[in-house]
Amino acid sequence: MYRRIVVPVLGSEQDTRAIDLAVAIAGHYGGCDLTLVYVAEVPQHLPLDADLPDEVTNGEAVLERTAEYAQSGTDTRWQRITTELLQARSASAAIVDEAIERGADAVVLAVENHREHGVITQGETVPYVLKNAPCDVVLVRSLAEDGEI
C-alpha cells in the first residue's frame, strides 16, 4: 500500500506525467502524502553549500508550478503535499536519500529514452534510483522529442 510518494521534478513537461501517475496511485489507495523534489546539482569545483541563485530561483518556480498542478483538477485528496529544494552533487543520490528520509513507499520517475551512439539510455539517474531506492520505483516513459525511442 502506498502512503508516501516522492516525485522528482525538473521543470519539463514530463513532470505532469509523473504527477498524473502519482495521482492515479494515490486515488487507488485513498490519498497519500506527496513530496515533490527538485535537485540543484552542485558542480565539483564549488562547495556543496555554494550560492546558486539562478538554480534556486528556477527550482522554487518549478516546485511552485508542480505543487499547484498536483493540487488542481484532481479528485485525489492529498493528505499533504511537501516540496523540497535540495542541493547535491548527484541528483540520483539526493532522490534516494529523500525517499529514505521520507519513508517513501514509492518514487515515481518520468523518463525519456535517448540514443547515445546507437544505444538507448535514460541517463544516470534512473539506473541509480532503481538499484538503490529502498522502496518501489515506478517509471513513466515517454518518447524522445524526435519521436524515436
Residue 23 has what pLDDT? 86
Q: Which of 21-25, 113-117, 131-135 has the highest mean pLDDT?
A: 131-135
Backbone conformation region of residue 38, classed left if phi is above 0, alpha if psi is from -120 to 50, else beta: beta
The pLDDT of residue 113 is above 80: no
Query: How far is C-alpha 139 from the chain's CA centre?
Result: 10
Predicted model pTM: 0.87
Backbone conformation region of residue 62, classed left if phi is above 0, alpha if psi is from -120 to 50, else beta: alpha
- Cell 517513501, residue located: 104
Residue 74 has what pLDDT? 56
The pLDDT of residue 149 is above 90: no
Whether 120 and 113 have beta carbons less than 8 Å apart is answered as yes
